[in-house]
Structure 1
Amino acid sequence: MLTAYRTSRDGTLGIRPSFEKNSWINMTAPSKEEINEVSLFYNIPIEFLEDPLDLEESARIEYDEDTNSTLIINDFPTMDVNNNQFDSYITIPIPIGIILGKDYIVTVCSQSNSPLENTIKKNVNTSMKNRFALEVLLSISTQYIDKLKLLNKQRLKIESHLRDSLTNKQLYDLMDIEKSLVYFLISLKANSDVITKLFRTHSIKLYEDDIDLLEDVRIEINQGIETTELYTRILDSITGSFSSLISNELNNTMKTLTIFTIFLTLPTLVFSFFGMNVTLPMGDKNPLAWIITLIIALILVIWIRLTLRRKKIF
C-alpha cells in the first residue's frame, strides 16, 4: 500500500492523489510495482526501498552519493500476533526505513506501525524532512518505554500469582517476557548506534532545534536500554529464586518420602525375618511372642527416629 502526504500552505497534513515535491510517501508492505514507481520518480536506489522489507535487516544508516539520498533503518516494538495468551513484543524482525532526499521523504515498512501514525497526529511539516525523520525516531524510542512499562506490569502480575502457586503457564509467560527483553535490548542498542552516527553524519543537515530533538531521542533510547537491563536483572533474580525454591521443595518432598520409607521398611524387615521359619522369641506357641516381635520393631523405629533427630534430619 502506498499513500502520499503533503503539508498545505495552512500547515495541515493531507493526503495527495499523486507524487509531489516536498511530500511524504508512506509505503506499507508495498508491491514490486509500487517500489519501482517510487524509485523511478524520486531517483531512489531500489535497495533503499527493499532493504527495510527484509525481516532480518538490522538498524543502520547509509548514504548514496549518486542520488544524494540517506537511508535510516530503525527497529520498532510490535506485538507478537502468534501469541494469543500473552502480550509479547518482538522488535528485531520489524524494521522501518526512512529515506531522505532533496525534496522528498519516504518511509517503508512491512506492516502498519504506530510510530508513523503518531507522527501523522502531530501534523508534522513534510517540507522539514530532517525534523520529520527525527519525530519518527522519537516516536519509536518513546514506544519502547511504553512497552517496557506494559511488560513490567505483566511481570508483577505473574509474580503475585507465583506466591500462591507455580504453574507451567506462569513459567512460559516469564520466558516470553525474558525473550521480549532480549529483543528489546538488541534493538535498542542498534538504534542507539544509528543515533550516534546521526550526530556525526554530514549527509543530513541539522539545525539547533534538530540537534536538541536528536538529543531527546538519544536520552529516550538510553533510558530504554537502562530500563531493559534493570528489568532483565530483576527477572533473572526472580527466576533464580523460584528455581531454588522449587529445588528446595523437591528436596523436602524427597526427604519426607525417604523417612517414611525407612519407618515402613524396618517393621517389614522384622516381620519378614521371623516369618521365614525362624523361631519366635519365647517359643512359637507362646501367646506373647507376637507382642515381643512388635516391641522389637518399635524399638528399631524409635532408635532410627532418635538418630535422625540427633543429626537434625527429622
Structure 2
Amino acid sequence: MVNIYETEGGKLNALQDFEEGCWVKVTAATMWEMEPVAKKYNIDIEDMRAALDEEEKSRIVLEDDYTLVLVDIPASEIQHEKKVYTTIPLGLILADGAIITICSEDTPILNRFIKSHVRNFSTKKRTRFVYQILLNSMTTYQNVLRSVDNRRLAIEARIGEEKEDEADLVELHDLESTLVYFETSLRAAGMVIDRLRRYKHIPQFPEDEDLLEDVQVENRQAIEMATIYREIIDGTSELMSNVINNRLNNTMKYLTSITLVMAVPTIISGLYGMNVNTGGMPFGSLKMGFGIICGLTFLLCLFILWILWRKRML
C-alpha cells in the first residue's frame, strides 16, 4: 500500500498524487505498487525492496538522486498466544522533493506522525523528519525494553511459588532472545547515526544537528538498557534454575526418607515370611506374637522418623 501525505499549516493532509515536499508512506507494498514511486524519484527498485527483507542489515546507501537510510525498528507479534517482540527493517529515502518511508508492516512509529503526536513535524523538512523518525524509534525501543523488564519482574515475583515453572523458563528465554536482537539492532543503528553525523551529503541545519545528537544519546541509553536487562535476565534464569534444583533435591530427600522408614517393616516382614521353624523366630510361638512384632516394628519406624526429623531430613 502506498499513501501520500503533506503537512500544510501544521496539519497533515492526504494527497492523491506526488507533490513537492510530500511524504510517501510505503507499507507492505508489491512490486507493482512500488514501481511508480521508484520511477518518479529515480530510485533503484532493489533499494526499496531491501526494506521489506527481514534479513537486511542497517546501513546507508548514497546515490546521486537519493540517500537510503536503513535501520531496524521494534515490532511485536503473537506467538503461542503470547506477545513477543522482534525487529523489522525500516527504509528512509531522502529523494529530490520527497521523503519516502518503506516498511513491511504498519508500525506505530510512523503512525505517531499521522496522528499528529509529534511536535514540529513537517514533511517539507526532510532531514529533520528522518531524525524525528529515528528519535521515535529509539524511544520506542526504550519503552519496549521497560515492558520486557516488567515481564521479568512478574516472573521473578513468582519464583518460589508452588506453580509450574516451565512456562516461566520459556518466557525468560524469549525475553533474553528479544534483548539480544534489540542490542544487535541498536548497535547497528548507532553506527548508522555516527555516519549521519559525519556525512556532509545530507543538508543539515543547526537544529537538525541538535536533534541528531539527541538521537545518538537515546540510542546509547537504549543500548545500555538492553545490556543491563539482559544481564539481569541471565541472573533471574540462574536463580530460577537453582530454585527448581533445590526443590527437586528436597523432593528426593523426602522420598529417600520415606523409603528408609518403609524399609524397616519390609525387612522384618520378609524375615518372618521365611520358610523356617517358627520356634526359632522371636515371639513366633506366642499367641500375641504377631501383635508384638507389629508393635515393635511401629515403634522402630517412629524412632527412625524422630532421628530423620532431628537431622532435618523431613
What interval of TM-score do these two structures reach, taking the shorter chain for normalisation? 0.7 to 0.9
Q: CA deviation at 1:183?
A: 2.1
Query: Normalised by the size of structure 2, how large is the TM-score?
Result: 0.87
- State how 1:129-168 maps to structure 2 within 5 Å: 129-167=126-164, 168=166
- Give aligned pairs, total: 308
Q: CA deviation at 1:200?
A: 1.7
Distance in structure 2 (CA, Å) of the matches to 1:100 and 1:173: 40
Letter in 1 for 2:132: E
**1:310 to 1:11, Cα distance in 2 relative to 1, 3 A:** closer
Aligned to 1:97: 91
Question: Which of 214, 225, 228 matches 1:227?
Answer: 225
Gaps of 5+ in 1: none
Aligned to 1:81: 78
Aligned to 2:54: 55
Distance in structure 2 (CA, Å) of the matches to 1:282 and 1:213: 96
Aligned to 1:218: 216
Q: CA deviation at 1:299?
A: 8.0
Distance in structure 2 (CA, Å) of the matches to 1:216 and 1:158: 34
**1:172 to 1:312, Cα distance in 2 relative to 1, 3 A:** closer
Contact 1:138-1:217 at 8 Å conserved across structures: yes
1:87 alignment partner, SS class: strand
Distance in structure 1 (CA, Å) of the matches to 2:282 and 2:47: 101
Contact 1:119-1:135 at 8 Å conserved across structures: no
**1:214 to 1:245, Cα distance in 2 relative to 1, 3 A:** same
- State how 1:199-210 maps to structure 2 within 5 Å: 199-210=197-208
1:78 alignment partner, SS class: strand
1:80 alignment partner, SS class: strand
Contact 1:162-1:170 at 8 Å conserved across structures: no
Contact 2:61-2:67 at 8 Å conserved across structures: yes
Percent sequence identity over aligned pairs: 35
Q: CA deviation at 1:28?
A: 0.8
- CA-atom RMSD in angstroms: 2.6
Query: Normalised by the size of structure 1, how large is the TM-score?
Result: 0.87
2:158 alignment partner, SS class: helix
Distance in structure 2 (CA, Å) of the matches to 1:116 and 1:291: 85
Distance in structure 1 (CA, Å) of the matches to 2:15 and 2:303: 93
Aligned to 2:252: 254
Letter in 1 for 2:92: I
Q: CA deviation at 1:206?
A: 2.3
**Could you list the per-position Cα deviations for residues 83-119 of structure 1 after superposition, in whole angstroms to 9, with x for gaps in the alignment?**
53x331111xx21100112322111111111111223
Q: CA deviation at 1:43?
A: 0.7
Distance in structure 1 (CA, Å) of the matches to 2:282 and 2:3: 105
**1:291 to 1:278, Cα distance in 2 relative to 1, 3 A:** farther
Letter in 1 for 2:259: T
1:226 alignment partner, SS class: helix
